[in-house]
Structure 1
Amino acid sequence: MSADDSPLGHCPDCGKRIARAWLLVEYEKDDGTEGVWVECPACEDVVAPE
């Protein structure tokens, strides 16, 4: 499995698995954890994967 295939989570809207290749933004949250925004390849929405 390449780095682009590693899963970031699932779309909260449609449940599709989202790979790192769909990553749009990485950021640090106020609590120090990492947050990400990705484009879901199935429903084409920008989401925070679960």
Structure 2
Amino acid sequence: MNTDESSLGRCPDCGERIPETWLLVEYEKDDGSEGIWAECPVCDDVVAPEQ
């Protein structure tokens, strides 16, 4: 496994880092900021990663 892989943040459910390769959707929120949804490779849930 590549330890230099960039992370999207941590899973809010299990706390594991989510690699960028697990990104599912990028979108713009109503306030103009960027939101993302990704799949957690550990718990297999679709989550909004936390920084």
TM-score (norm 2): 0.87
CA RMSD of aligned residues (A): 0.7
SS of residue paired to 2:44? coil
Which residues of structure 2 form unaligned runs of 5+? Answer: none
Q: Which 4+ runs in 1 deviate beyond 6 A?
A: none
Report the AA paired with residue 10 of structure 1: R
Q: Which has the higher helix share?
A: 1
Report the AA paired with residue 39 of structure 1: E
| Seq. identity, % | 72
SS of residue paired to 1:21? helix
Equivalent residue for 1:7? 7
SS of residue paired to 2:18? strand
Q: Deviation string for 1:2-50 (max 9, x for gaps)?
A: xxx2111000000000011000000000111100000000000000000
Aligned residues: 47
Distance in structure 1 (CA, Å) of the matches to 2:6 and 2:33: 19
TM-score (norm 1): 0.89
Which residues of structure 1 form unaligned runs of 5+? Answer: none
